[in-house]
Amino acid sequence: MTDAEGQPPEEGQAGALENLGVATPELTRREFLYYLWASSMAVFLAGVGGVTIWFALPRFREGEFGGIFVLPIEDIPAPDSDPMEFAEGRFWLVNIGNEILNDPRQPDEYKVNPGIRTLYKVCPHLGCLYKWVPSNDRFECPCHGSKYLKSDARIGGPARRNLDQFFTEVLDASGSVLVQSEPTWPGDRESTAVPIPPGAVALRIDTGRRLDGAPNVKPGGGL
């Protein structure tokens, strides 16, 4: 500690400050080692913080959420009928027909094709479960009032995207895939509806594979 005492002040800033009457004692070995120790402790504590978060993150068993649902083709709703709810899979099945395709409320930005769409039951706004309101012919969220068409398109409320969808395939009798849903939006979003070709016997829905709805931010729906 006494090493630095009695030595002339170095040139540069320290000297300049001393000229102003501000005493700036020089860095001693002891002080330097303290800083070194403190920074190593800071790095260590940052590591502990990271480990704490890692520790507290929930662990999932495989298949704990999501799963494969296979539905016989007879069970799916008719085109343009009311959506069908599958509570255990957390989804709605919608069969898009001409009426939905020609719905004047549908924003132009989003392509809709005839077929089956599997909509994730959870509102993309803040996680409530939206419900089907037949007399308004749309989905409505009971929490903050986001509104969606059967097609998945948001047409009002505070949500910022269309409804999320699950990956859906159509299988034939041998179990091979005839059609599958494909993303239509950059970043693997907004899946196509799957048409039901002749020879189809079942629908396979993988709720472990979710595609976010396309961004939709305008007051009446649209980009």
Partner 1 sequence: MRIPRPKILSLPFLDDIEEKGVVRASTDLADDVVTRVTSGLNITDIRGVLRGDPAVRPNPRLTPHAEGFWLHMKPTYYNNLMDGLYPTFRLGWLATFFFAWEIVTGIFLMVFYTPSPLVAYENMLNILSNVPFGRWMRDTHKLGGELMVLLVVFHMYRTYITGSYKRPRQFTWATGALLLTFTLVVSFFGYLLPWDQLSLWAVTIGASTAGAIPIVGTEADLLVRGGLEFGANGLLRAYLIHVILLPIIMIILLGVHYYKVVIHGHSLPPEAEEPSVDTARKVPMNVRTYFMPKILTRELVYVAGLTLILLAASAFAFGYHAPLEPHADNLVTPLHTTAPWYFLWIQGLMKLGDNFIFGVVLPGAILTGIILAWPYVEVGRNRRYGKRRIGLSIAASTIIGAAILTYMGTPWFGVETSPDQEAIAILLPQTSPGPLRLSDWDDIPYGTYLASEWESAPTRTTSKLLKTFDQELEHASDNPLYGDVEGFMVVEDWQTDLKKITVRIVWVDPETGAPAEFSEIFFFHRNSDYGQGE
Residues that bind partner 1 (CB under 8 A): 53, 56-58, 60, 64-65, 87, 125-131, 133-136, 140-145, 157-158, 160, 217
Q: Could you tell me the smallest distance in angstroms from the CB atom of residue 161 to partner 1?
A: 11
Q: Which is nearer to partner 1, 175 or 220 (CB)?
A: 220
Q: Could you tell me the smallest distance in angstroms from the CB atom of residue 147 to partner 1?
A: 10
Q: Are 186 and 206 in contact (CB under 8 A)?
A: no
Q: Could you tell me the smallest distance in angstroms from the CB atom of residue 55 to partner 1?
A: 10
Q: Cα dihedral angle (155, 161, 164, 165), rounded to 10 degrees?
A: 70
Q: Could you tell me the smallest distance in angstroms from the CB atom of residue 123 to partner 1?
A: 8
Q: Could you tell me the smallest distance in angstroms from the CB atom of residue 124 to partner 1?
A: 9
Q: Which is nearer to partner 1, 55 or 74 (CB)?
A: 55
Q: Which is nearer to partner 1, 127 or 198 (CB)?
A: 127
| Structure tokens that stand for 71 in this block | 């539905």
Q: Which is nearer to partner 1, 64 or 75 (CB)?
A: 64
Q: Are 179 and 195 in contact (CB under 8 A)?
A: yes
Q: Which is nearer to partner 1, 147 or 192 (CB)?
A: 147
